[in-house]
């Protein structure tokens, strides 16, 4: 099916006869593949007698040659349950880090706290970078925040100048989510472990009825389609730069930069931890990346993967 899709990706009409000749199959077999494309990938294909078949909109696919400048080896998949899940399977199979898993779509994309990450075909970026960490607990301090800065830098290169960070793992434009980060750890952090850095970026998505929170995309913000291959290369470059700096200097050296990009700095918030909530004012983050809150005149520090932050009173 992917070969057929590459023939159609230009958004022009192609006759069934020409498609069949290019694929070495009959016109009826072309028709069956087109039906599968529509059903499996939720693509809209125009069918006009005498003209042939046309995608409702041109499609840009992930291309290995366009990703050649990525600083990390890249593995491209047409469809996965999630890129993080595939990365974990590769680790279990003995794959050598670092490497990146990419997918055109995900059937079970995941965000923090078990939330579903909507993953339409060939519209967004679903990216998982695997790193090996050797006995360096310091390398894990503030890691998700460092990744957030790399994502933010990449978005700004492609026109989303109003984007900013929300502790701990979100990138927003205003109050709308444009990207999210999910880190998963395998092994012993005190000895040898692997970190899977999962990144989801809304790139060219225009419509998504089943997203349960406010969202936006680079295309909506920039007003034009974005080349995902170029964005992936920029993301890898920015990740590499921030990770090298983080390993050499620790999060403390980057703390002020992160705080200067935190959209909720000084805002009144509610911190949610399971059934418990804490109201306070965001004071920033500490040198390990934990959240600092001013709670009733006292500064308190919070960290952990199951914490969630919400604005109070639209402050």
CATH number at residue 47: 1.10.10.10
**112: annotated binding-site residue?**
yes
Average pLDDT over residues 92-120: 83
**292: annotated binding-site residue?**
no
List the CATH number of the domain containing 77: 3.30.930.10
The verdict on whether 112 is a catalytic residue reads yes
Check whether residue 51 and residue 113 sit in a common domain: no
The verdict on whether 310 is a catalytic residue reads yes
Check whether residue 221 and residue 301 sit in a common domain: no
- Tens-digit pLDDT profile for residues 13-22: 998 899 989 9
* Of 36, 89, 115, 310, catalytic: 310
**110: annotated binding-site residue?**
yes
- Residue ending a domain, choose from 55, 80, 98: 55
- Tens-digit pLDDT profile for residues 240-297: 999 999 999 999 999 999 999 999 999 999 999 888 999 999 999 999 999 999 999 9
The verdict on whether 49 is a catalytic residue reads no
Provide DSSP, 242-299.
HHHHHHHH-GGGTHHHHHHTBTTTT-EEEEEETTEEEEEEEEEE-TTSPEEEEETTEE
**250: annotated binding-site residue?**
no
Q: How far is CA 40 from CA 33, 52, 87, 315, in A?
A: 10, 21, 23, 43
pTM for this predicted structure:
0.90
Check whether residue 27 and residue 141 sit in a common domain: no
Check whether residue 235 and residue 216 sit in a common domain: yes
Residues of the chain with pLDDT > 90, as a percent, come to 66
**Has residue 315 got a pLDDT over 50?**
no
* pLDDT of the residue at 116: 66
**Has residue 114 got a pLDDT over 70?**
no
**177: annotated binding-site residue?**
yes
* Of 166, 177, 237, 292, catalytic: 177
Task: Give the number of domains in the chain.
Answer: 3
> Domain range for residue 102?
65-259
Check whether residue 247 and residue 110 sit in a common domain: yes
* Of 112, 166, 237, 292, catalytic: 112
The DSSP 8-state label assigned to residue 28 in this structure reads H
Check whether residue 221 and residue 300 sit in a common domain: no
**169: annotated binding-site residue?**
no
- Tens-digit pLDDT profile for residues 123-142: 999 999 999 998 767 788 89
Check whether residue 234 and residue 97 sit in a common domain: yes
């Amino acid at each position: 099916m992917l070969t057929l899709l590459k023939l159609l990706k230009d958004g022009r009409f192609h006759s069934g006869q020409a498609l069949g000749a290019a694929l070495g199959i009959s016109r009826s077999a072309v028709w069956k593949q087109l039906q599968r494309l529509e059903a499996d990938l939720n693509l809209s294909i125009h069918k006009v007698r005498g003209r042939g078949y046309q995608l409702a909109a041109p499609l840009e696919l992930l291309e290995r040659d366009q990703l050649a400048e990525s600083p990390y080896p890249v593995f491209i998949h047409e469809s996965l349950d999630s890129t993080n899940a595939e990365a974990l399977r590769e680790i279990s199979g003995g794959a050598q880090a670092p490497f990146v898993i990419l997918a055109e779509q995900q059937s079970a994309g995941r965000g923090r706290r078990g939330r579903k990450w909507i993953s339409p075909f060939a519209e967004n970026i679903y990216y998982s970078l695997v790193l090996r960490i050797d006995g360096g607990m310091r390398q894990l301090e503030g890691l998700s925040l460092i990744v957030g800065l790399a994502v933010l830098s990449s978005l700004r290169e492609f026109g989303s100048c109003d984007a900013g960070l929300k502790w701990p793992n979100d990138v927003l434009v205003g109050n709308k989510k444009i990207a999210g980060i999910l880190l998963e750890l395998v092994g012993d952090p005190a000895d040898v472990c692997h970190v899977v850095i999962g990144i989801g970026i809304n790139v060219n998505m225009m419509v998504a009825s089943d997203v349960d929170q406010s969202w936006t995309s680079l295309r909506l913000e920039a007003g034009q389609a974005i080349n995902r291959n170029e964005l992936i290369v920029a993301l890898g470059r920015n990740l590499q730069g921030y990770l090298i700096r983080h390993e050499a200097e620790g999060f403390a050296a980057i703390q002020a930069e992160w705080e200067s990009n935190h959209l909720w700095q000084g805002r009144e918030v509610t911190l949610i931890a399971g059934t418990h909530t804490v109201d306070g004012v965001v004071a920033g983050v500490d040198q390990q990346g934990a959240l600092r809150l001013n709670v009733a005149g006292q500064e308190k520090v919070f960290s952990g993967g199951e914490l969630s932050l919400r604005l109070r009173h639209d402050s």
